[in-house]
Structure 1
Amino acid sequence: MDTLSRAGLSGAAVNELREEILEGRLNQGERLSEVSLSTTLGVSRAPIREALLHLEQEGLVVSLPYKGASVVTLSPQDFLELSTLRIALEKLAWARAMERVTPEAIADLTAIISEMDFAVKSDQKAKLVRLDLDFHERVFVMADHSRLYTAWTAIKWQVALFLLARRKKVDDYHSIIVEEHAELIDAILAGHAADFEHLIEVHIGSGYGRLNSAATSSPAG
């Protein structure tokens, strides 16, 4: 991690630590020492403490009495809850987005898919997770529903951890991500509610199923 500039130390620390977690360089359950992070990032402990609090609010960090902060560990039950909640949120988001879709919005989504395709071909696996989030973020923005968007932002970084875990444990993520998102755009252009609801269930639900199967088939320890 590069030494941070003095401007906006807390925000810069948030961005740096979030990237470390989402890139998989800080693993689930790993202790986050204020002293160590302060030394590594070249800042005082105060902005580190503020950054850890912010990341805790995002669901990426957990802080326990007498144990300090650590990267959150998501259980199979957590992944199930994230998947089922996300399906419900996305169905509403896509239904509203379908009513508000513009050529510019479709162009933005298509551009992200093109970036996904390039990331797949250039083996930028970590970038795929971020592009996946960006794609769905655009749909929630397009839905134009402030409380729905708030619900999405409350879980989106844990969704990123889900995608990271899936990418690490299930080797088909990179091979299907482009096609699945392109199908979602086709559905919104066609305006068929039944089609996109089914696609969302498959897109999110099958991802959980693959990850769960990989976890249960892995040897203990």
Structure 2
Amino acid sequence: MTEAFSPALGDTVTRRLRDAILSGQLADGERLVERDIATTLDVSRGPVRDALRQLAVEGLVVVEARRGTRVASLTPEDGEEIMAIRAGIEPLAVRYLVRETTVGRFESLHEILGELEIACREGNWSQVILQDFALHRQLYVLCGRRRLLRLWESISEPLLHIFRMNLGLYDTIEQVHANHATLVADIESGDPLRAEAAIREHITHFQPQLLALMLARAGKEE
């Protein structure tokens, strides 16, 4: 390859691989070979290598000695634990958020909702996942509790895989935006019981199906 390496090229490769993972084009556990990716994307191996390093930081790929790089996956035990932790801390974050009285505190949620709506309209599954993830993270930011935000960050890598699996459980891509718009409205209501019930239902709704999906995948890999 003769192209000059640039940060922009590396970012492009990272984005294309990230989109392929989040959209399901690259499956859980799939092996990623630098040479093959470089050939497919018509770039040198340098930006591919850098992209894989970045995706490893994001938790989307794992690098194993003598086994190479592959798309990260969750075990059923991991998924159950992560979902239980999230179910314990996210309603608490919403409870604190509802107590806040800062003017305009919900504006950032509506900005993310707008981006989520655009992604749904365009059928961009990767962006839908990232905006969904961003909206939920913002709940922790807005609640003003640093420890809760740190807990979210500590489980953010495997959570991104759970968000990725969520999409296959929606009837339509537009439903993702509609469900989140309803959730934000419930939080904005100022009613703590309504808000906590809404977030609890929202984050546990697909849990049985997600666990069944993880168990089925684990069975295929054995």
TM-score using structure 2 length: 0.76
Whole-Å Cα distance in 2 between the matches of residues 187 and 105 of structure 1? 14
Q: Provide the aligned C-alpha RMSD in A.
A: 3.3
Whole-Å Cα distance in 2 between the matches of residues 178 and 98 of structure 1? 21
Structure 1 residue aligned with 2:43:
42
Question: CA 1:89 to 1:173, structure 2 compared with 1: closer, same or farther past 3 Å?
Answer: farther
Confirm or deny: 8 A CA contact 2:75 2:214 kept in the other structure.
no
Identity among equivalent pairs (%)? 26
Amino acid in the other structure paired with 1:110: H
Structure 1 residue aligned with 2:165:
165
Whole-Å Cα distance in 2 between the matches of residues 32 and 16 of structure 1? 13
Whole-Å Cα distance in 2 between the matches of residues 10 and 125 of structure 1? 22
Task: Measure how far apart 1:193 and its partner are.
Answer: 2.6
Task: Measure how far apart 1:67 and its partner are.
Answer: 1.0
Unaligned 5+ residue runs, structure 1? none
SS at match of 2:7: coil
> Aligned pair 1:156/2:166, yes or no?
no
Question: CA 1:56 to 1:122, structure 2 compared with 1: closer, same or farther past 3 Å?
Answer: closer
> Aligned pair 1:210/2:212, yes or no?
no
Confirm or deny: 8 A CA contact 2:120 2:174 kept in the other structure.
yes
Structure 2 residue aligned with 1:55:
55
Structure 2 residue aligned with 1:139:
139
Amino acid in the other structure paired with 2:202: H
Whole-Å Cα distance in 2 between the matches of residues 10 and 150 of structure 1? 29
Question: CA 1:19 to 1:91, structure 2 compared with 1: closer, same or farther past 3 Å?
Answer: same
Task: Measure how far apart 1:200 and its partner are.
Answer: 1.9
> Aligned pair 1:127/2:130, yes or no?
no
> Aligned pair 1:19/2:4, yes or no?
no
Whole-Å Cα distance in 2 between the matches of residues 156 and 35 of structure 1? 30
Whole-Å Cα distance in 1 between the matches of residues 117 and 54 of structure 2? 33
Confirm or deny: 8 A CA contact 2:32 2:69 kept in the other structure.
yes
Instruction: Please say which of residues 174-183 and 191-200 is displaced more in the overlay.
Output: 174-183
Whole-Å Cα distance in 2 between the matches of residues 171 and 98 of structure 1? 28
SS at match of 2:137: helix
Confirm or deny: 8 A CA contact 1:4 1:13 kept in the other structure.
no
Task: Measure how far apart 1:70 and its partner are.
Answer: 0.2
Amino acid in the other structure paired with 2:128: L
Whole-Å Cα distance in 2 between the matches of residues 146 and 164 of structure 1? 26
Question: CA 1:114 to 1:50, structure 2 compared with 1: closer, same or farther past 3 Å?
Answer: closer
Structure 1 residue aligned with 2:183:
184
Structure 2 residue aligned with 1:98:
98
Q: Matches of residues 61-76 of structure 1 in structure 2 within 5 Å?
A: 61-76=61-76
Confirm or deny: 8 A CA contact 2:76 2:215 kept in the other structure.
no
Whole-Å Cα distance in 2 between the matches of residues 9 and 212 of structure 1? 38
Task: Measure how far apart 1:29 and its partner are.
Answer: 1.0
Task: Measure how far apart 1:69 and its partner are.
Answer: 1.0
Task: Measure how far apart 1:146 and its partner are.
Answer: 3.5
Confirm or deny: 8 A CA contact 2:73 2:161 kept in the other structure.
no
Instruction: Please say which of residues 100-109 and 132-141 is displaced more in the overlay.
Output: 100-109
Whole-Å Cα distance in 1 between the matches of residues 211 and 13 of structure 2? 33
Instruction: Please say which of residues 111-120 and 30-39 is displaced more in the overlay.
Output: 111-120
Question: How many aligned residue pairs are there?
Answer: 216
Amino acid in the other structure paired with 2:145: H
